[in-house]
Structure 1
Amino acid sequence: MAEINTPSVAGGKAGARRSKKLSTKVDLTPMVDLGFLLITFFIFTTTMSESKAMKLIMPDDSTPGTEMDLAQSNALTVIPLADNKVFYYHGQLDNALKTNTWGVTNYSESDGLGKIVRIKQAALDKIKPGNRKELMLMIKPSPESNYENVVNALDEALINDVKRYAIVDITPEEKEVAAAKALAIH
């Protein structure tokens, strides 16, 4: 605690009036201790930022050879490529090439992959209201793509409220077509 020391009257002479001078030394050691206790308390009681993970549901691999039935009109396949490009097509690849329902885009907010997903959802809603929930987004990373590209595609699925999506292996035919179409547009 803080204490104030008062010296005794000097000399004890009679009749001499001297004013008392008080020493104002304050011991701050307890205040420093209290500060460190508070700092320690707040460090131990705060929670550090927790990592947020996206829930990813993958199909069961325990029964090989089982395939999921999917209408071509509900399928949108996305192939992330190098240089933040995305090759996409609707339905099956051979039909998409014949009917010109494919394209190459990027991850920009205004006219990138998100816009393609929203257009597909609107087209499905036009067929039948509420049909946008039937959209199946298949993400097929190419060997040239990086982890960030796959995460960006998953982010677009989350942003656009796509309920059904999967990360699927790319076929050699899709790899060739995607590379050729991306080079042709570049």
Structure 2
Amino acid sequence: MKNIPQKIRSRKLNSRVDLTAMVSVSFLLIIFFMVTIELSKPKAVDLSLPNRPSDEWDGVISCGAGISDRIVTVLLDENNEIITYSGLLFRPLEEPKKVDYSKDGIRRELYSKNTNIRERYAQYGKPNRGAIVIIKPSKNCNFKNLVDILDEMEIAKIDTYAIVNEFTPEETKLLASN
């Protein structure tokens, strides 16, 4: 008999895939997405201002009691114009005035108001109560002016300030008249 060559059969090996690395990568991805979702949530602080008082509060406002005597509003308009007033516009502590971005302008104004408010509240045992500045940039205001006024907050040592984009009708009229 002739030797018939036998077929060489390949031996099937047990193929196992090691999934240890895949599990590690999946856990890292889960942690990454959890952290990015948490960091992408907007972080904002609500500014609680008092409601507009009615006529029965006239005596309280006129004597400067309450939070309204600490409020300083800064209106930013086009062409580097700033209008500032203290208190509430329908009953301001002083008339609105136009200032500029110089050290003798808005910086001196904010620093002196903050210092006066701190001294007044220090007499009552509350020395950390300074001015509350509300910054209201108009639609015509450029970004540089907004950054400049935020720098002035730091220079004047204003601790409490907020950027608000809503104008009252009175403030819109005030900007239009200037």
How does the TM-score come out when normalised to structure 2? 0.58
Distance 1:156 1:125, change over 3 A: same
* Two-structure CA RMSD over aligned residues (Å): 2.2
1:109-140 deviations in whole A, cap 9, x for unaligned?
Answer: 1x211111011112213313364643111100
1:34-183 maps to which residues of 2 (within 5 A)?
Answer: 58-60=44-46, 67-69=48-50, 71-96=67-92, 100-109=94-103, 111-129=104-122, 131=127, 133-173=129-169, 174-180=171-177, 182=178
- Greater CA radius of gyration, 1 or 2? 1
1:103 maps to amino acid: K
Question: Which sections of structure 1, spanning at least 5 residues, go unmatched?
Answer: 1-56, 61-65
Question: Which sections of structure 2, spanning at least 5 residues, go unmatched?
Answer: 1-42, 51-65
Kept after mapping to 1: 8 A contact 2:72/2:87: yes
1:41-63 deviations in whole A, cap 9, x for unaligned?
Answer: xxxxxxxxxxxxxxxx7424xxx
Distance 1:134 1:122, change over 3 A: closer
1:42-95 deviations in whole A, cap 9, x for unaligned?
Answer: xxxxxxxxxxxxxxx7424xxxxx834470111001011111110111111111
- Percent identical pairs in the alignment equals 25
How does the TM-score come out when normalised to structure 1? 0.56
Distance 1:172 1:121, change over 3 A: closer
Cα displacement (A) at 1:172: 4.3
1:107 maps to amino acid: Y
Report the 3-state secondary structure (helix = DSSP H, G, I; strand = E; otherwise coil) of the residue aligned with 1:134: coil
Report the 3-state secondary structure (helix = DSSP H, G, I; strand = E; otherwise coil) of the residue aligned with 1:126: helix
- In the alignment, the residues of structure 1 paired with residue 102 and residue 131 of structure 2 have an alpha-carbon distance, to the nearest angstrom, of 21
